Chain A
Amino acid sequence: MLCQRCGERQATFHYQQNVNGKKTELYLCEQCRKEIGMDGFSGNSLNWNDFFGVFDSPLSLFGGNGGMSSERVGVQKNNAYVCEYCGMRFEDFRNGGNLGCGHCYETFKERLDGVLKRLHGGNRHKGRLPEISMEEPLEKPKTIDEEEVVEMKENNEQVACQETNIIELKSKIKKAVASEEYEEAARLRDIIRRIEAGEEI
């Protein structure tokens, strides 16, 4: 089979897809594959084991057969080995996969912290964040005892009131997005921005 891109050299790579009965195939030679940047594409080229320290190796955490060592895993906070949201196993990630969903970052936090440090040099975000976030922060909110809440309400009723408004607005945005009313969602987002910027509404 000749390469479908250059039609000149023998194809050494074969991609195939079949969606709703429609089959598409792609045959590429090594050079064309490189030229369009497809090398390193099939099968994640990163070997995450390079980014794990000796003490975080599969042997020390999971035992030699890759099975779970309940003693170690059970007691460590944030050290769960399966993400409850998407079913991703930490082992799959380590064996060259990607993470399964946003929640994996929290589920595997303790071990990811080290990986991210080695990859990026730092492991805390310093850039921008969305001006509104649909979800509550992933860390648990600080517990405040009732007296403090009463005090806060009395002292800062206006702020508390604005916070309630923001929560309500966020829930309205969610509903608007669910019903595909994106203009309404954007309008509500702008109101939140103005509240947060301290403007009078």
Chain B
Amino acid sequence: MKNTSIISERIRLARNLEGYPFPARMSYHESEEVVDKVWGVIKDTDIGGGFSLTLINDSDMNDRLSLVETHMISPELAANERRLCAAAAISKDGQISIMINEEDHIRIQVIRKEVDLDNILVTAQKVDKLLEVLGYAVNSEYGYLTACPTNVGTGMRVSVMMHLPALVMTKQMSGIFESCNRLNIEVRGLYGEHSNPDGNMFQISNRVTLGQTEEEFIALVGRISEQLDQRESDIRERIYKQDKVAFEDKICRSYGVFSNARIMSGKEALNLISDIRMGITLGILDLPMDVVDEIMSLIQTATIQKYVGREMEINERDMVRADVIRDKLNLTAVKKEG
């Protein structure tokens, strides 16, 4: 499939252990037992190159927020408001994370850049089958039992992260929100405002988890994301053809600022990245998409602080962000003025 706008795809499985109340009603001691049991099963596997365990209570807040920014854990786990023993087992290849004692005892998540939900499910199910020996809370009528009934059944949320600047530009997103809503598909802005998020990044996911098979939910989300991708691609080409020079000018100016600026806020960076991504897919810019993806992940507030190893004031952070971007684009040879 030709892919214009899909940034990454993700599948999450929510699971709970029989014999323990859900995390909201758990004691600290019980939560420690669940972490021990899950880690006992996971620690020796070689799936994903093996796992390492991060205990949330032992990590400082910036490290936790960085894991949120890189989509490894949820904000809920980072906050750990229930004050339990909570943890995240993250695979060495950075594609699998197992959150322990978030809203449910276990949340298995597999995230990849490839457009291949079926294979992502295979990996998630491998981990699922390993953990299954611990005895899941299941019921033949309701499937996998979860703390929130919105996740019961398959316990599966399928998400596709998409970059949809042309649909935003042509003001089509509100119509898309409505049609997706009718199909039980949720569309949300990945950064900032819901309707017009920074960087035009959206997440498409299934709202419903019960009453259909895993494969059916995957097919639905896959089909919708493919349709959106096709539409986005068609409109991009149409806009580009309407006035080639003006469009190229806009993209190249964005790249010029991105690769030369000395001060760069997070919001400005995301909006420039949006133009650059579009420029790459239309063949206007010759730049590896991987580098852009890496920069996009790295320059987020908590992640950039983790990268340089210290917390920074906003002004310093904006300067460091600009440095990191130039560094990653291999433009460090350009000397700083003064």
Given contacts A116-B152, A127-B213, A134-B18, 10 further A-B contacts (CB under 8 A): A19-B83, A102-B139, A119-B208, A120-B211, A123-B141, A125-B142, A127-B153, A132-B132, A134-B135, A137-B140
Determine if B25 and A24 form an interchain contact, defined as CB atoms under 8 angstroms apart.
no
Contacts of A22 in B (CB 8 A): 57
* Smallest CB gap from A31: residue in B: B192
Smallest Cβ distance from A35 to chain B, in angstroms?
A: 5
Contact of A174 among B37, B85, B135 (CB under 8 A): B135
* Smallest CB gap from B28: residue in A: A19
Query: Which residues of B approach A to under 8 Å, CB–CB?
Result: 16, 18, 20-22, 24-25, 28, 36-37, 40-41, 57, 60-61, 65, 68-69, 74-76, 78-81, 83, 85, 103, 125, 129-130, 132-150, 152-154, 156, 184, 191-193, 208-214, 216, 266, 301-302, 312-314, 317
Determine if B211 and A101 form an interchain contact, defined as CB atoms under 8 angstroms apart.
no
Smallest Cβ distance from A29 to chain B, in angstroms?
A: 11
Question: Number of contact residues on A: which range applies?
Answer: 35 or more
Contacts of A5 in B (CB 8 A): 65, 301-302
Contact of A17 among B81, B149, B301 (CB under 8 A): B81
**What 0/1 pattern do residues 14 to 38 of A give for CB contact below 8 A with B?**
0101111010111000011011111
Give the CA-CA distance A85 to B233 in the complex, in Å. Answer: 53
Q: Does A177 contact B (CB under 8 A)?
A: yes
Give the CA-CA distance A88 to B149 in the complex, in Å. Answer: 14
Contacts of A134 in B (CB 8 A): 18, 135-136
Smallest Cβ distance from B107 to chain A, in angstroms?
A: 14
Most chain B CB within 10 A, of A105, A112, A132, A173, is at A105
Q: Does A124 contact B (CB under 8 A)?
A: yes
Smallest Cβ distance from A21 to chain B, in angstroms?
A: 11
Give the CA-CA distance A133 to B191 in the complex, in Å. Answer: 40
Q: Does A68 contact B (CB under 8 A)?
A: no
Give the CA-CA distance A185 to B301 in the complex, in Å. Answer: 44
Contacts known (A106-B139, A185-B133); A119 close to B18, Cβ less than 8 A: no
* Smallest CB gap from B270: residue in A: A35
Contact of B83 among A18, A25, A34, A130 (CB under 8 A): A18
Smallest Cβ distance from B212 to chain A, in angstroms?
A: 6
Can you spell out 24 A-B residue pairs with CB atoms less than 8 angstroms apart? A7-B314, A7-B317, A17-B80, A17-B81, A19-B85, A26-B61, A32-B301, A44-B148, A87-B25, A98-B24, A98-B103, A98-B148, A99-B145, A101-B21, A116-B149, A116-B152, A123-B141, A123-B210, A125-B153, A127-B213, A129-B143, A130-B132, A135-B138, A186-B130
Q: Does A146 contact B (CB under 8 A)?
A: no
Q: Does A58 contact B (CB under 8 A)?
A: no
Determine if B75 and A99 form an interchain contact, defined as CB atoms under 8 angstroms apart.
no
Determine if B213 and A182 form an interchain contact, defined as CB atoms under 8 angstroms apart.
no
Contacts of B125 in A (CB 8 A): 128
Determine if A127 and B134 form an interchain contact, defined as CB atoms under 8 angstroms apart.
no
Determine if B24 and A125 form an interchain contact, defined as CB atoms under 8 angstroms apart.
no
Determine if B25 and A130 form an interchain contact, defined as CB atoms under 8 angstroms apart.
no
Most chain B CB within 10 A, of A15, A98, A132, A174, is at A98
Contacts of B149 in A (CB 8 A): 98-99, 112, 115-116, 119
Q: Does A86 contact B (CB under 8 A)?
A: yes
Q: Does A4 contact B (CB under 8 A)?
A: yes
Contacts known (A100-B24, A177-B37, A182-B133); A122 close to B148, Cβ less than 8 A: no
Contacts known (A36-B65, A139-B140); A182 close to B132, Cβ less than 8 A: no
Determine if A135 and B211 form an interchain contact, defined as CB atoms under 8 angstroms apart.
no
Smallest Cβ distance from A182 to chain B, in angstroms?
A: 5
Smallest Cβ distance from B199 to chain A, in angstroms?
A: 11
Contacts of B21 in A (CB 8 A): 85-86, 100-101
Give the CA-CA distance A193 to B140 in the complex, in Å. Answer: 18
Determine if A122 and B211 form an interchain contact, defined as CB atoms under 8 angstroms apart.
yes
Determine if B212 and A177 form an interchain contact, defined as CB atoms under 8 angstroms apart.
no
Smallest Cβ distance from A171 to chain B, in angstroms?
A: 12
Smallest Cβ distance from A136 to chain B, in angstroms?
A: 11
Smallest Cβ distance from A192 to chain B, in angstroms?
A: 11
* Smallest CB gap from A193: residue in B: B129
Contacts of B78 in A (CB 8 A): 36
Q: Does A198 contact B (CB under 8 A)?
A: no
* Smallest CB gap from B148: residue in A: A98
Contact of B150 among A25, A106, A119 (CB under 8 A): A119
Determine if A133 and B192 form an interchain contact, defined as CB atoms under 8 angstroms apart.
no
